[in-house]
């Protein structure tokens, strides 16, 4: 990797700004002063310092956020607040995307990352990665209604096209509270599914993605990076799903 690219990413400064560090002879690679912007460094093994401080290169980030209501699940919007505005400026250097969006009035688990492969695995329906939600509903959810949801119901997507949902997993927590797991992600899908059986969703919170559970200690609007074991468990979930789909 070019040294100027490494410096820009690791410090969050522009290429022109980091070149001034080089001109000042304040950049060292493995102890040696380097002034060339196109000098090659090994981002995983080279020891790079600027003004005596060692820099660490972070290629990928994996952020768990407890999304509050009132924020769009979008990287940017000209008029309304987005979840990206809740992140520290440090993360501006990464080309982040959201793995499975939530409605503006919904809460819960968002996974934000710049790992395109992970994103693809999560949002592609054929990977069959479950997203589990806790829904508060109005209306009577009968045994027949549960069977319908677990078999597949006919609803319209965001463009008004009628389709049959894939089978869901439904667990009644208490009167008026239901957990539902789906692996598709059509527009307002959970709300439309419950509406199709005569129930109205009045509160919706995502609590899990592919076995990754929302940290109960994260308050609304808070976030943290995934622990190594959480990331590995999530990736193992994808591997097991792929294996079962291929058999």
175 among known catalytic residues: no
DSSP state of 40: B
* Bridge partners (DSSP) listed for residue 204: 135
Distance CA 190, CA 193 (A): 5
> Cα–Cα distance between 203 and 140 in angstroms, integer?
16
In sequence order, what are the residues at sequence separation of 6 or more whose Cβ sits closer than 8 angstroms to the Cβ of residue 36?
3, 22
Q: Which two tokens stand for residue 37?
A: 């912007």
How would you class 225 by CB atoms within 10 Å of its CB: exposed for 0-12, middle for 13-18, buried for 19 or more? middle
DSSP 153-182: -EEE-TTS-EEEPPP-EEEEEETTEEEEEE
CA of 103: how far to CAs of 108, 133, 223, 233, in Å? 10, 12, 18, 26
Which of 103, 130, 157, 215 is labelled catalytic?
103
Distance CA 21, CA 99 (A): 36
Q: In whole angstroms, what is the distance from residue 146 CA to residue 15 CA?
A: 57
Residues annotated as part of the active site: 103
């Amino acid at each position: 990797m070019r040294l100027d690219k490494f410096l820009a990413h690791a410090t969050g400064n522009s290429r022109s700004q980091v070149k001034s560090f080089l001109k000042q002879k304040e950049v060292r690679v493995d102890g040696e002063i380097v002034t060339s912007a196109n000098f090659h460094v090994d981002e995983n093994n080279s020891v790079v310092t600027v003004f005596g401080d060692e820099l660490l290169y972070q290629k990928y980030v994996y952020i768990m956020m407890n999304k509050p209501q009132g924020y769009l699940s979008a990287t940017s919007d000209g008029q309304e607040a987005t979840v990206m505005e809740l992140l520290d400026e440090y993360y501006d250097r990464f080309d982040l995307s959201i793995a499975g969006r939530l409605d503006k009035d919904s809460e819960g688990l968002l996974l934000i990352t710049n790992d395109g492969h992970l994103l693809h695995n999560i949002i592609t329906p054929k990977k069959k990665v479950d997203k589990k939600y806790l829904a508060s509903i109005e209306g009577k959810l009968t045994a027949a209604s549960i069977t319908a949801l677990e078999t597949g119901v006919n609803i319209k997507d965001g463009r008004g096209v009628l389709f049959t949902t894939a089978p869901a997993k439904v667990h009644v927590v208490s009167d008026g509270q239901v957990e539902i797991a789906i692996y598709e992600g059509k527009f307002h899908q959970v709300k439309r599914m419950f509406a199709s059986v005569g129930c109205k969703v009045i509160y919706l919170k995502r609590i899990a993605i592919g076995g990754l559970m929302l940290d109960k200690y994260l308050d609304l609007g808070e976030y943290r990076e995934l622990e190594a074991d959480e990331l590995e468990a999530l990736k193992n979930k994808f591997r097991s799903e792929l294996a079962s789909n291929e058999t």
